Amino acid sequence: MRQEELWDDLYSGNPTTWRGNTVIPIPNSGDALDLGCGNGKTVSTLVDNGYNVTGVDFSHVAVEQCRERFKDSRFVIASICELPFQDDSFDYVTAVHVLEHLDDDSLAKAVKEIRRFLRPAGYMFIRSFTENDMRSRKRADSNIFYRFYDVDTILKAFNGFEVVSAGVKEDRTRFNTIRSRVEVLLKL
């Protein structure tokens, strides 16, 4: 089964797969692009903070769910490796839990696309699970492709961007497990 179909099945089986808003930095204003928008958890935060939002996902089910929830935003079905946007289109790009689904070649293509459509002095925010995350073993055993990054790998992929902040964020849950993710904010 193709990755797109696996994600379509996930969203079809549970339209509220990820609920609420995600906490992300708000470094500027203007036009934002949420890569791998899923059912809109990051889109919701961007909209609430006044951005003009475009979301992109290769899951048509996820995009349809976003279109139903966010009538004033734009959504596109596409791979983040080949995006239908003009150069210098966005002030802020978010990739929350999406880059970990890319192999090396796809990551290089996605970074090239981001450089193309991110405006000069625009920001890029990346969040990606680490191997230490409590859910990593379950993810590694699924049919959905996962790759776990460290900060250095992400910074190397985005070579040439200014690093605003970069690190691993870990939180202990009430069940004494660890949520662990790389968080990187870059500026072009």
The phi-psi region of residue 86 (left if phi > 0; otherwise alpha if psi is between -120 and 50; otherwise beta) is beta
* Rounded distance between C-alpha atoms, residue 22 and residue 81, angstroms: 24
Supply the pLDDT for residue 60: 86
**pLDDT at residue 129, as a whole number:** 85
Rounded CA-CA distance 155/124 in Å is 12
Q: What number of CA atoms fall less than 13 Å from residue 109's CA on the CB side?
A: 10
pTM of the model as a whole: 0.87
Distance between CA atoms of residues 69 and 64, nearest Å: 9
Model confidence over 132-154: pLDDT tens digits?
876 666 655 567 667 888 999 99
Q: How many CB atoms lie within 10 A of CB 93?
A: 25
* Residue numbers in the chain where pLDDT is lower than 50: none
Tell me the per-residue pLDDT of 78-95, one tens digit each, with 9 for 90 and over: 999 999 999 999 999 999
pLDDT of residue 164: 98
Q: How many CB atoms lie within 10 A of CB 103?
A: 9
Domain ranges of the chain: 3-12+28-187
Q: What CATH code is assigned to 3-12+28-187?
A: 3.40.50.150
